[in-house]
Structure 1
Amino acid sequence: MSSAYVSRINQLDALQLDEAILRILQNRVQDIAKLFTPGTVESWSPEINATVRTLIWIFAFSKGKSTFGQRLLDLTYANLTTKKAILFSFISVMTKYLEDKYMDPNRMMNNTREKMIKKYLEKIANLIHLLSFINLLMFLHRGIQPSILERILNISSQSVSTSKPRNIGYSYITRELLWHGLVELFTIGLPMINFHYLKRYLFKFWSRPNKIMKNSIIPTMTIYTKCPYCNENPVLPRHSGCSHIYCYYCMMAHFTAAKTFNCYECEIELHKDDMKVYSPPWSN
């Protein structure tokens, strides 16, 4: 293990960055392949991907003892020799090549030999997945060698700069303060906005209220009845002079703020003194 501590998240991020760099280059190759006749390049995709991976490892290890993802995070391999670098690159390329060549569900197996190879590779892949899971548990416990290949070759990551201070500019602090200020504003302000009232106020411009005389219709509740305020089935149903039935809490909330308010459906003025418990007509 290296003398300089390397956080687990940085080591995992380095692996993710390597995969992201590979995907970017593969996407560029696919864009170039679109210029050729359809089907010409697709049949050689495993070989092309293997070539791209080989070039990435050659350029990475020829400049030092770290991958491109590690360099972005100021990491390097502590005890990587030339022999280990070659084995690391070869095993990484060949495992992915065999996976693309024989285990891709989009590729058709042409003969019995390829089907047998696929069968054996699937068993080996299952074993590798099991070993990778065990290695992940060991990595979470010890904090070194997140990939099984690193553990096999006995290489581990270390930090290039152990005492590099973090430089935080005023622009970063300003953005953080602005963002947290907006979060606090929305957290406090949004619950105070009555969205139901705003929706009703907007709908009032193009909807025509029903001209119904107060107490002219006896309210009737069915399974389809909705509270005009919350648009849900009324809970502890109440009415107060019109044909519409409210939840107790919806109506009482309005009457707590004011003695009267206009019905959300028919615009009839409702009074707190007229508030009654709804009872079915057959119960009278």
Structure 2
Amino acid sequence: MPCTRVQQHDAAILDDEIAGIMRESTTRLFDKFRPGLVESLAPEINALIRSFIFTCSTFIHKPTPGMKLQNVKFCQSAFRTRTLFAYYILTIAMPYMWKRFPSILTTQRTRNYETDTSRTRWQISDFVAYFKRLEVVISACQFLNLLAFLKHGRFRSFEERLLGMGLKSTNEQSCMISYEPITRQQLWKTFTDLGSTFLPLFVFLYRRAASKLKQRHKQALTMSSDCCLLCGIPPQTPYITSCNHVYCYYCLYLSASNDANFACVACGKHFQSSKRLITG
């Protein structure tokens, strides 16, 4: 039964993530060693992890963990001994050598500079140029294979196309993975990111608006001396406090009697005294 492009692509992504988790767990074993050791052994560690996954899955005619989760597997024709050996060389051994060649060439070039052999320098430079051209050709082939995969839905990698290792679905169930938790996690992450980005701005705008409203309210209270600051009507028997704000005698007396710590409504200060305001 044919499988979808999404299943094939997601199977490769899941295999890469599983290998990444194993790589992180392995590198923790070298935390107490000298600095730089893990970086220098990164190609070997990655090759060993890939070899372990290959040996426990494809080599014994079983799907990889990512394929198992996506309900896909290699076709039976892909499990020939020669095909498996070539697949291991193309997907694990050659990428390892590809990552190791730069450091080997750098070391060799340093030795040649010390021995000052111009012929050997030319040979290494020529090999580096050939190596870069080969890298461009392989990248172009991988890109063309991607276009063919998107169109026809077969052979997700250039190596699988060379060896004819196609994928098929194991049953009618499209996928074993439930994407609802992933969707909820993505929505929550997006919401928290937006909140952490815009919440400080909202708090700043709110405080700024509240400060302006409070200032305007104080200005409105202090600008008019024709109304009592407590009852809001023209004061009956007006009294003015030591902070120069006008109240009704009854309102001021009642408020000061009920609250020993009564402060001026307009300025918030505890006035010391008040006196009768005589208006001409």
Q: Check whether TM > 0.5.
A: yes
Q: Judging changes above 3 Å, is the alpha-carbon distance between structure 1 residues 118 and 94 closer, same or farther for their aligned structure 2 residues?
A: farther
Q: What whole-Å deviation, never above 9, does each CA across 1:61-95 have from its counterpart, x for those lacking one?
A: 24424222111111111121232122112211123
Q: What whole-Å deviation, never above 9, does each CA across 1:32-87 have from its counterpart, x for those lacking one?
A: 12122223444333223222221221111244242221111111111212321221
Amino acid at match of 1:38: P
Amino acid at match of 2:71: D
Report the structure number with the largest CA radius of gyration: 2
Amino acid at match of 1:159: S
The structure in which a higher percent of residues are helix is 2
What is the aligned partner in structure 2 of residue 137 from structure 1? Answer: 147
SS in 1 for 2:8: helix
RMSD: 3.8
Gaps of 5+ in 2: 110-122, 188-201, 225-280
Query: In 1, are the aligned partners of 2:73 and 2:168 still within 8 Å (CA)?
Result: yes
Q: Judging changes above 3 Å, is the alpha-carbon distance between structure 1 residues 39 and 16 closer, same or farther for their aligned structure 2 residues?
A: same
Amino acid at match of 2:154: I
1:91 equivalent in alignment to 2:99: no
2:134 to 102, 124, 129: 124
Query: In 2, are the aligned partners of 1:75 and 1:159 still within 8 Å (CA)?
Result: yes
Q: What whole-Å deviation, never above 9, does each CA across 1:80-126 have from its counterpart, x for those lacking one?
A: 1232122112211123212321358xx99222277655443322121
2:219 to 190, 211, 220: 211
SS in 1 for 2:95: helix
2:48 to 33, 46, 51: 51
**Equivalent residues in 2 for 1:34-113, closer than 5 Å:** 34-78=31-75, 79-80=77-78, 81-103=80-102, 109-112=106-109
Q: Judging changes above 3 Å, is the alpha-carbon distance between structure 1 residues 84 and 108 closer, same or farther for their aligned structure 2 residues?
A: closer
Query: In 1, are the aligned partners of 2:71 and 2:175 still within 8 Å (CA)?
Result: no
- Residue 146 of structure 1: how far off its partner (Å): 1.3
Return the alpha-carbon distance in structure 2 between the equivalents of residues 74 and 16 of structure 1.
Answer: 14
Amino acid at match of 1:24: I
- Residue 206 of structure 1: how far off its partner (Å): 8.8
Return the alpha-carbon distance in structure 2 between the equivalents of residues 85 and 56 of structure 1.
Answer: 13
Query: In 2, are the aligned partners of 1:17 and 1:69 still within 8 Å (CA)?
Result: yes
Return the alpha-carbon distance in structure 2 between the equivalents of residues 94 and 122 of structure 1.
Answer: 19
- Percent identical among aligned pairs is 25
SS in 2 for 1:208: helix
User: Alignment length, in residue pairs?
Assistant: 188
SS in 2 for 1:76: strand
1:7 equivalent in alignment to 2:4: yes
Structure with higher RCO (Cα < 8 A, 6+ apart): 2
Return the alpha-carbon distance in structure 2 between the equivalents of residues 18 and 89 of structure 1.
Answer: 15
Amino acid at match of 2:89: F
What is the aligned partner in structure 2 of residue 244 from structure 1? Answer: none
2:166 to 156, 170, 173: 156
Q: Judging changes above 3 Å, is the alpha-carbon distance between structure 1 residues 117 and 67 closer, same or farther for their aligned structure 2 residues?
A: farther
SS in 1 for 2:15: helix
What is the aligned partner in structure 1 of residue 117 from structure 2? Answer: none
Q: Judging changes above 3 Å, is the alpha-carbon distance between structure 1 residues 39 and 167 closer, same or farther for their aligned structure 2 residues?
A: closer
What is the aligned partner in structure 2 of residue 16 from structure 1? Answer: 13
Amino acid at match of 2:149: F
Gaps of 5+ in 1: 180-194, 215-284
SS in 2 for 1:130: helix
Q: Judging changes above 3 Å, is the alpha-carbon distance between structure 1 residues 207 and 95 closer, same or farther for their aligned structure 2 residues?
A: farther
Return the alpha-carbon distance in structure 2 between the equivalents of residues 167 and 74 of structure 1.
Answer: 7
